[in-house]
Amino acid sequence: MKLKEELLKIADCFERSGIDYALCGGLAVVIHGYPRLTKDIDILIRPEELDRAREHLAKIKYDLEAGTFRFNVGTHKESVMCRLARAVETELTTLDLMLVAPVFEKVWSDREVIQLGS
């Protein structure tokens, strides 16, 4: 699976569902013109949208849940990530949903809208 195609599917899913999101991680760096090798898709969403996001992502086969992970627990940098994946034949695409937390509020409020695709 090609990451760009998968990203476009996810973005379309969120757009159609009315779920606000922000691309982050390696693909965001690439979109801003800095080459970087990455093997997954990282997206920032509001915590209250997680259940709806899972529901809608399952419709495009992001239905393999690896779990919810907590980082820097008890610190001002505490954050939560939910990992989902989509399997097609022998290929697996990993999607990390980072939940907006105080440590990400500035990133969330300063996010840019960029047209993806052609």
Kindly state the percentage of the chain with pLDDT values over 90.
73
* Mean pLDDT taken over the chain: 90
21 within 8 A of 39, measured Cβ to Cβ: no
CATH architecture classification, 3-109: 2-Layer Sandwich (3.30)
**Between 84 and 113, the higher pLDDT residue:** 84
pLDDT over 80 (residue 27): no
Name the 3-class secondary structure at 101. coil
pLDDT over 90 (residue 93): yes
pLDDT at 115: 76
53 within 8 A of 99, measured Cβ to Cβ: no
- pLDDT band of 24, cuts 50, 70, 90: confident
pLDDT for 106-116, tens place per residue? 989 999 887 76
- pLDDT band of 21, cuts 50, 70, 90: very high
The pair of three-digit structure tokens given for residue 25, joined into one six-digit string:
């991680």
- pLDDT band of 41, cuts 50, 70, 90: very high
Mean pLDDT of 47-72: 97
